[in-house]
Amino acid sequence: MLINCVAYEDGIKLADIQVDEIHDYATLPGCFVWVALHDPSPEELNRLQPEFGLHPLAVEDAHQGHTRPKVEEYGESLFVVLHLLEAEAEQPSMLQVGEVDIFVGPNYIVSVRNRSEHGFADVRERCEREPELLRNGPGFVLYALMDAVVDRYFPIIETLEAELESIEQQIFTQKAARASIERLYGLKQRLTVLKHAVAPLLEGAGKLHGGRVPQICAGTQEYFRDVVDHLNRINNTIDAIRDSISVAIQVNLSMVTIDDGEVVKRLASWASIFAVCTAFAGIWGMNFEAMPELKWRYGYPAALLLISSICGYLYYRFRRAGWL
Amino acid sequence: MLINCVAYEDGIKLADIQVDEIHDYATLPGCFVWVALHDPSPEELNRLQPEFGLHPLAVEDAHQGHTRPKVEEYGESLFVVLHLLEAEAEQPSMLQVGEVDIFVGPNYIVSVRNRSEHGFADVRERCEREPELLRNGPGFVLYALMDAVVDRYFPIIETLEAELESIEQQIFTQKAARASIERLYGLKQRLTVLKHAVAPLLEGAGKLHGGRVPQICAGTQEYFRDVVDHLNRINNTIDAIRDSISVAIQVNLSMVTIDDGEVVKRLASWASIFAVCTAFAGIWGMNFEAMPELKWRYGYPAALLLISSICGYLYYRFRRAGWL
Amino acid sequence: MLINCVAYEDGIKLADIQVDEIHDYATLPGCFVWVALHDPSPEELNRLQPEFGLHPLAVEDAHQGHTRPKVEEYGESLFVVLHLLEAEAEQPSMLQVGEVDIFVGPNYIVSVRNRSEHGFADVRERCEREPELLRNGPGFVLYALMDAVVDRYFPIIETLEAELESIEQQIFTQKAARASIERLYGLKQRLTVLKHAVAPLLEGAGKLHGGRVPQICAGTQEYFRDVVDHLNRINNTIDAIRDSISVAIQVNLSMVTIDDGEVVKRLASWASIFAVCTAFAGIWGMNFEAMPELKWRYGYPAALLLISSICGYLYYRFRRAGWL
Amino acid sequence: MLINCVAYEDGIKLADIQVDEIHDYATLPGCFVWVALHDPSPEELNRLQPEFGLHPLAVEDAHQGHTRPKVEEYGESLFVVLHLLEAEAEQPSMLQVGEVDIFVGPNYIVSVRNRSEHGFADVRERCEREPELLRNGPGFVLYALMDAVVDRYFPIIETLEAELESIEQQIFTQKAARASIERLYGLKQRLTVLKHAVAPLLEGAGKLHGGRVPQICAGTQEYFRDVVDHLNRINNTIDAIRDSISVAIQVNLSMVTIDDGEVVKRLASWASIFAVCTAFAGIWGMNFEAMPELKWRYGYPAALLLISSICGYLYYRFRRAGWL
Amino acid sequence: MLINCVAYEDGIKLADIQVDEIHDYATLPGCFVWVALHDPSPEELNRLQPEFGLHPLAVEDAHQGHTRPKVEEYGESLFVVLHLLEAEAEQPSMLQVGEVDIFVGPNYIVSVRNRSEHGFADVRERCEREPELLRNGPGFVLYALMDAVVDRYFPIIETLEAELESIEQQIFTQKAARASIERLYGLKQRLTVLKHAVAPLLEGAGKLHGGRVPQICAGTQEYFRDVVDHLNRINNTIDAIRDSISVAIQVNLSMVTIDDGEVVKRLASWASIFAVCTAFAGIWGMNFEAMPELKWRYGYPAALLLISSICGYLYYRFRRAGWL
């Protein structure tokens, strides 16, 4: 579905144009065309290909979808793939992975959004409000789109951090080992999705600043460095969370082991005390005829006293050993 | 076994030719010869060596087989080894490793397929359908072959991902710890096979695009970059699965430990309750003559009441402690 | 809040100046202006921007705060972000993360301190005491600030090392497995905060010495190398502590497992001994009429002897096996 | 011990010569001398040093032995150390580490074999059979020696792979946890020995092909690349085995934990059933006078029925819970 | 404390000189001065600074001590810090960390030894015995000192290797899990101390050979490469030991788990057998009036027979299952 097709001159919007007018505007000096598509049909995309001379391999990637994030140069033009992450509507703990494919050339930028509801109207507005920056051409629009996509990763990583913190508290206070591990495992899976969005992009975006950069990005290098800096921040946080998850699973298991160990020691201690009790009672429950103590007047209280002394002594020993 | 031997001119098939006609065609300007072999005898391979001036070390590798994937330059020509992976017919959970060795020069390409049933007839057809691309010469054929091989890795990695997902569900829901670990271990082994096919190739194929590339690939760099991109995707997925396996084994063991701990606590709790019961019964089962309570009219019900009260109290305590 | 605004010429303080005099002094040859702000309002910062021509992206970072440490070049000027770490007043085991953003140009240095009480008055004093070094200009002031910030990391890492050592002693001597693991986990969290302050800075500061360096730092390279050396030392210590924590958790769990295993063996051994005792007593407690040994004169002592022999023998065996 | 001292011209053997004739032959154009020593006395080595101008540090290394594998340039000449690995005669599971030190210059090659019985006579034969390759001079002989040494690593790594496979089968089928872990640990130790032979050599040999290479190897680069390729293959296999060992230990322990957990659950279940049985029997074994059910005609069978019903019910419950 | 102050010309010792004569000798062509200090007072060090023009940052490092090993260039001169490791006199299992700071310039070398009793008199002697090497100037002395320091690491690493081997034997043969883990942990700590001495030095010393090297080391590159080679060897051994420690802790814990599991199974099996015995005895110990078998003549032996048969059968089953 075509969302927008607008021509800009010197950073100022000229007009909303038709797809078949693209060629007229794109060839004007100082002019560029910004086309936005959403889940386009193959035909829509194919129609744009000859207008801008898009490379067949790039178009094929855009058709297929499900590629990893990347920044590729084709001659003078760039092909950029970004992942769009959104919490699923029904299951907020799952991340839905959409994709935006961006074709950028000296006089055009085409953004193709797939499998994601959250559009880029705000990016277009912001760009049009700052004509002195938009004057930098399609390279700046590319920056604005990347910046918007990367900024949307921050709330996600913050959710993951909060989730980790909530699990961490549970590890040491509540008894919910099984649930904690399930949650940690789910957290790890979401983190992997985010990592797959961030890590390859970090590598790709690094080519857009410092040293030799594509001509399109030449005037806006510092802006791309800013994007890389944000990606770096997210990436470091991902690695830190991942590390914490691994330790947390280990610690969780340790806590279970320690707790179980204590319970077992306690139960086994009590069982031992009563086993002793039973053994003595069993002795005097034997049916031998000649058991003189059975006839003693205070035999029974003496036996009870003996048994409780022994049990008391055991209790004292186990207590001191920290088992009870 | 010789499968095909065809001469092409400007991307158009000239003729199926005989091995002894190769020299005639290969020396025509704008012409190249594409030879396909399948599990060839040493003689077949040796016969081709002088025709194309294949390097002895490369031919030796092709004779021996079982080398790791690689891309090697010998002067103007290239020697490429790719692994072919197929699920074994009888045991679909095992991967069979075949190999295709490709010799590429300015005017020839020789592909030697070993230990694999799945041929490349479809690659040849696709190439012949696109003469404007095939005009790029043997370099493009090399791309087409690599692309076909790499594309065949995708269903394999998807099978592995599905397998992992199915195991993950079992970890938290079913009781099949032993089977889960066996399956995870088997998954890891297949993953290692795939990793051995992908990782060295990724390294080798990286030399075919960007910076200085072999002359043969000069015009088709962007295509090789596309192959590298696919390999990168597979490689990242492999690493993610491998990471998940390691965590899954750890989590699986944690679950077993937690479950066992709970069962042991439960059984030990019940055992303790009955041990207490037995101890008291043992006391009143002693044969002392002077045990006044034995003569009481309601001694027996009182004893039963006492015992069940104690057991009930223990039950309540254990329940509250979460052991029962 | 503006703390200071001073003009220097050839390393000597000229005068405390007003913000609107900055332009007059900054354009004098051999002169530079050093401005210090603390938790400034957005207006204060915006007012300085045109005076020094600060880059909008850098100013935006300073407004937002919470960026990772970095060293960025904007044309001739530098933008440096450092983390300030302080133990929290109420909870000394928590680290509070503040930030200082430093803008450096050929004739100015602006330091913006956020969320931290510990100021840099001592740095200014030290610089003014050494005019022959301060003559190097804003680059030297940058060094002095970085050096001061990094030096403040040392007591923190020493606290962490001491904490680790105290936990290590507990692992092998006291019985506080649960507390040890909690402390190790807390230690790991503080270490992560420190790592996030140090690692990116190490990377950034590496650009200020050796090879091509920004013009501003050209004359003071060796000083920046010294900062990098300190950062390297801290970074290595962090990695060593982190490694030790991981091993310590593992060892702690091992110790618990070994201890629990011993207790369980001991209790189970005693329980077995008394179970044997009870079983024998049970036999002679049966009510069969024809049990000749019950009538024996010395049946009872013989039975007691037999039972205690068996128990004694078991005790001896268990002892020898190391279970008791 | 001097084994061989032969002069070659244009790849053809000229003559077996004496050590004091070396100088005469080595200075002939197109001629080089190949000396082979085995566990030489310090004097033998020292006598060769001035003949070829060997560097004192290299000779010192050769005297001492026990250096790590390496490839070092000394001006125009090379000093190469390779590890020779052989299964020990008495204990085939141990690897004996020998060493061959190779000095190569433009007109000589000296190989010093230490602590290893397996000589290089076959290498010399193969070289002499291929004069067109031997014409490349000492660089080719170096290749031939390295190739021979590396080829001897393959059977070793295959033994280790077979050992791993045999252990892997045991993990899931037999009950030999302790033995499996001992074998895995031993495997890991042998693997470390192999790794120490391969990894540094891989690094060193990488300097002999691609980019700037020592003059001696200039004409035989592709051969050295072949050696590096073999080393890479071995190195990857080592890493894969090492990884598998680590997982296998983890899995082995998991299996033990799972198995033990099942046994404990089963035994504890039975113990619980009989504890219940004993408790009830204890009740009716009490000596209260007023226990009406004891006088009932069918009291005993009723009691037996009750007890076995309860036990049966427990059995059913435990069975369903998977503990029995 | 000043230990030595000697002037050398062309590798030959000229004279022991006074500190205030340094300037006279250091300015003679072909002459250099070698000063050795031991735990100097700040004044002694400060007095030397202007004589040789030592850099203030380097002198500050030497004053403070406790820096990490490093090799730093200050203009034409070098500042090198090495760690000196010695087993503590009272506690041979602890490593004491001393330090030697070396200032090297074109015509001087100053070595400052701190917190270490083991001096470098032997290095000086060896240098003076080889004037043809000492002629290379202060760079060669630097090599000789580094070589001596690094050579002293070898016995330490060998002690650690021996310690590891002794622990490894214990793991599989003796029962000393707790002690083994304590020893492994202590080993790891000493290893970390050694690692901190070696790893940064390896990095620093790498700058002294190959590619661009400081002028001072230009003629002795091959010697520094030899030092790097030794450091590499130590470093690899450290990594291997560290790896082994980690596996050994894991294996040790596995062994404990396996052993404990076996003991628990054995004890629980016996307990089960006797529980069965007790249960049956309890049945016939009930006081029901109508228990016909109690009146049977051979009731008692029959009961004993039944009980022992059942116990025997259980024993047989447990034995076969490998629990006894």
What kind and span of H or E run contains A250? helix A221-284
Q: Say how many C-beta atoms besides its own lie within 10 A of residue A151's C-beta.
A: 11
What are the structure tokens assigned to D9, written together?
A: 């011209």
Nearest to D225 among B72, B181, B268 (CB): B72
For every residue of D126-147, DSSP letters joined together read: HHHH-HHHHTT-HHHHHHHHHH
Nearest to C281 among A168, A264, A282 (CB): A282
The alpha carbon of residue B286 is apart from the nearest alpha carbon of chain D, in Å, by 7
Are B303 and D288 spatial neighbours (Cβ–Cβ below 8 Å)? Answer: yes
Q: Do B282 and A287 touch (CB under 8 A)?
A: no
Are E286 and D303 spatial neighbours (Cβ–Cβ below 8 Å)? Answer: yes
pLDDT digits (tens, 9 = 90+) for E73-123: 998 899 999 999 988 877 777 889 999 999 999 999 999 999 998 999 999
Single pTM value for the model: 0.87
pLDDT at B240 over 80: yes
Q: How far apart are the first and last CA of chain C?
A: 71
Question: Which of A147, A234, A286 is best to mutate for the C interface (most C CBs within 10 A)?
Answer: A286
User: Phi/psi zone of residue A155: left (φ > 0), alpha (ψ -120 to 50 degrees), beta?
Assistant: alpha
Question: Which of D245, D283, D293, D314 is best to mutate for the B interface (most B CBs within 10 A)?
Answer: D283
pLDDT at D316 over 90: yes
Are A205 and A231 spatial neighbours (Cβ–Cβ below 8 Å)? Answer: yes
Residue C129 C-alpha from the chain's centroid:
33
Q: How many angstroms separate the most distant Cα atoms in chain B?
A: 123
Are C19 and C45 spatial neighbours (Cβ–Cβ below 8 Å)? Answer: no
Q: Do E264 and C265 touch (CB under 8 A)?
A: yes
Q: Residue for token digits 């059977």?
A: D155
What pLDDT band is residue A91 in, cutting at 50, 70 and 90?
confident
What pLDDT band is residue C212 in, cutting at 50, 70 and 90?
confident
Q: Say how many C-beta atoms besides its own lie within 10 A of residue C96's C-beta.
A: 15
What kind and span of H or E run contains A47? helix A42-52
**Percentage of residues of chain B with pLDDT beyond 70:** 100
Q: Residue for token digits 């070698």?
A: E34
Nearest to E287 among C229, C287, C288 (CB): C287
pLDDT at D89 over 90: no
The torsion angle over the Cα atoms of residues A298, A303, A308 and A313, rounded to 10 degrees, is 110
Query: Mean pLDDT across the stretch C51-65?
Result: 90
Name every chain C residue with its beta carbon within 8 A of the beta carbon of E200.
232, 236
User: Phi/psi zone of residue C110: left (φ > 0), alpha (ψ -120 to 50 degrees), beta?
Assistant: beta
Question: Which of D185, D191, D244, D318 is best to mutate for the E interface (most E CBs within 10 A)?
Answer: D185
Residue D309 C-alpha from the chain's centroid:
61
What are the structure tokens assigned to D131, written together?
A: 């004069």
Distance CA C81, CA D192 (A): 44
Q: Do C265 and E267 touch (CB under 8 A)?
A: yes
Task: Give residue B174's pLDDT.
Answer: 62
Task: Give residue E174's pLDDT.
Answer: 62
Are A164 and A187 spatial neighbours (Cβ–Cβ below 8 Å)? Answer: yes
Are D242 and D188 spatial neighbours (Cβ–Cβ below 8 Å)? Answer: yes
B9: helix, strand or coil: strand
pLDDT digits (tens, 9 = 90+) for B79-138: 999 999 988 877 777 889 999 999 999 999 999 999 998 999 999 999 999 999 999 999
Q: Do C232 and E296 touch (CB under 8 A)?
A: no
Q: What's the Cα-to-Cα distance from C141 to each of C131, C149, D312, E240, rounded to whole Å?
A: 11, 12, 85, 45
Q: Do A236 and C286 touch (CB under 8 A)?
A: no
Query: Mean pLDDT across the stretch D117-145?
Result: 92
Q: Which residues contact B256 (CB under 8 A, 6 or more apart)?
A: B177, D254, D257, D258, D261
Distance CA A180, CA A177 (A): 5
Strands annotated E in B95-229: 95-105, 108-114
CATH of E1-132, one of 3.40.1410.10, 3.20.20.70, 3.40.250.10, 3.30.460.20: 3.30.460.20
What are the structure tokens assigned to A172, written together?
A: 């040491």
The residues on E that touch D, with CB distances below 8 Å, are 168, 172, 222-223, 225-226, 229, 232-233, 236, 240, 243-244, 247, 250-251, 253-255, 257-258, 261, 264-265, 268-269, 271-272, 275-276, 278-279, 282-283, 285-291, 321-323
E27: helix, strand or coil: coil
Query: Mean pLDDT across the stretch E227-255?
Result: 92
Task: Give residue C174's pLDDT.
Answer: 62
Distance CA E185, CA E238 (A): 14
Q: Residue for token digits 């390294």?
A: B203
Task: Give residue A1's pLDDT.
Answer: 85
Q: Do B229 and A263 touch (CB under 8 A)?
A: no
* Residue of chain D with shortest Cα separation from B186: D168
Q: Say how many C-beta atoms besides its own lie within 10 A of residue C10's C-beta.
A: 12
Q: Say how many C-beta atoms besides its own lie within 10 A of residue A319's C-beta.
A: 11
Q: What is the CA radius of gyration of chain B?
A: 35
Q: Which chains touch E (3 or more CB pairs under 8 A)?
A: C, D
pLDDT at A26 over 80: yes
Task: Give residue B201's pLDDT.
Answer: 95
pLDDT at E175 over 90: no
Q: Angle at the Cα of D149 (from D144 to D155), degrees rounded to 5?
A: 130
What pLDDT band is residue A174 in, cutting at 50, 70 and 90?
low
What kind and span of H or E run contains E211? none
pLDDT at C205 over 90: yes
What are the structure tokens assigned to A141, written together?
A: 């629009």
What kind and span of H or E run contains A38? strand A31-38
Sheet holding C95-105, edge to edge: C12-16, C2-9, C31-38, C108-114, C95-105, C77-87, C70-74
Name every chain A residue with its beta carbon within 8 A of the beta carbon of C297.
290
Query: Mean pLDDT across the stretch E283-296?
Result: 90
* Residue of chain C with shortest Cα separation from A270: C267
Distance CA C64, CA C43 (A): 13
Are A23 and A51 spatial neighbours (Cβ–Cβ below 8 Å)? Answer: yes
What are the structure tokens assigned to E63, written together?
A: 């004053």
φ/ψ of residue E322, rounded to 5 = 80, 15
Are C97 and C115 spatial neighbours (Cβ–Cβ below 8 Å)? Answer: yes
C80: helix, strand or coil: strand
Size of interface C-E (CB pairs under 8 A): 132
Task: Give residue A201's pLDDT.
Answer: 95
Q: Is the dihedral of CA E283, E289, E290, E291 positive or negative?
A: positive
pLDDT at D103 over 70: yes
**Percentage of residues of chain A with pLDDT beyond 70:** 100
pLDDT digits (tens, 9 = 90+) for D218-267: 888 889 999 999 999 999 999 999 999 989 988 888 888 888 888 888 98
Q: Which chains touch D (3 or more CB pairs under 8 A)?
A: B, E
pLDDT at C67 over 90: no
Nearest to C196 among A236, A279, A289 (CB): A236
Q: What's the Cα-to-Cα distance from B59 to each of A100, B74, B103, rounded to whole Å?
A: 46, 12, 9
Summary mean pLDDT of chain E: 91
Task: Give residue D27's pLDDT.
Answer: 85
pLDDT digits (tens, 9 = 90+) for A210-250: 878 898 888 888 999 999 999 999 999 999 999 999 899 88
Task: Give residue D174's pLDDT.
Answer: 62
Strand C77-87 to strand C70-74: parallel, antiparallel, or no bridges (unpaired)?
antiparallel
Distance CA B257, CA B261 (A): 6
Q: Residue for token digits 């919490």?
A: A87
Summary mean pLDDT of chain B: 91
* Residue of chain A with shortest Cα separation from B173: A182
Task: Give residue D87's pLDDT.
Answer: 84
Q: Angle at the Cα of D318 (from D316 to D324), degrees rounded to 5?
A: 105
Question: Which of E67, E300, E323, E324 is best to mutate for the C interface (most C CBs within 10 A)?
Answer: E300
* Residue of chain C with shortest Cα separation from A237: C196
The alpha carbon of residue D263 is apart from the nearest alpha carbon of chain E, in Å, by 7
Task: Give residue C51's pLDDT.
Answer: 87
Q: Do D295 and E275 touch (CB under 8 A)?
A: no
Residue A15 C-alpha from the chain's centroid:
40
Name every chain E residue with its beta carbon within 8 A of the beta carbon of D189.
244
For every residue of D247-297, DSSP letters joined together read: HHHHHHHHHHHHHHHHHHHHHHHHHHHHHHHHHHHHHHT---S--GGGTST
What are the structure tokens assigned to D293, written together?
A: 């059910």
Nearest to B287 among A72, A188, A285 (CB): A285
Q: Tell me which DSSP letter residue D39 carries.
A: S
pLDDT at A283 over 70: yes
- Amino acid making up residue C47: R
Q: Do B232 and A296 touch (CB under 8 A)?
A: no
Distance CA E279, CA D273 (A): 10
Task: Give residue E27's pLDDT.
Answer: 85
pLDDT digits (tens, 9 = 90+) for E206-224: 999 987 889 888 888 899 9
Closest CA to C66 of C197, C232, C155: C197
Question: Which of E278, E295, E296, E307 is best to mutate for the C interface (most C CBs within 10 A)?
Answer: E278
Q: How far apart are the first and last CA of chain B?
A: 71
What kind and span of H or E run contains B322? none
Q: What's the Cα-to-Cα distance from B32 to each of B3, B7, B106, B223, E222, rounded to whole Å?
A: 17, 6, 8, 20, 52
Task: Give residue E23's pLDDT.
Answer: 86
The alpha carbon of residue D188 is apart from the nearest alpha carbon of chain B, in Å, by 18
Name every chain D residue with its beta carbon within 8 A of the beta carbon of B299.
288-290
Q: What are the beta bridge partners of residue D87?
A: D95
* Burial per residue of D112-126, b for 16 or more beta-carbon CB atoms within 10 angstroms, e otherwise: bbbebeeebeebbee
Nearest to B260 among D232, D250, D265 (CB): D265
What are the structure tokens assigned to B252, written together?
A: 């699986």
Are D88 and D71 spatial neighbours (Cβ–Cβ below 8 Å)? Answer: no
pLDDT digits (tens, 9 = 90+) for C109-148: 999 999 998 999 999 999 999 999 999 999 999 999 999 9
Distance CA A149, CA B88 (A): 44
Strand C2-9 to strand C31-38: parallel, antiparallel, or no bridges (unpaired)?
antiparallel
pLDDT digits (tens, 9 = 90+) for A105-135: 999 999 999 999 899 999 999 999 999 999 9
Q: What are the beta bridge partners of residue D5?
A: D35
CATH of C256-320, one of 1.20.58.340, 2.130.10.10, 1.10.1040.10, 1.20.20.10: 1.20.58.340
Q: Do E277 and C272 touch (CB under 8 A)?
A: no
Nearest to C287 among E200, E257, E285 (CB): E285
Question: Would you kindly state where each structural domain of chain C is located, as residue ranges?
Answer: 1-132, 256-320
The alpha carbon of residue C49 is apart from the nearest alpha carbon of chain A, in Å, by 17
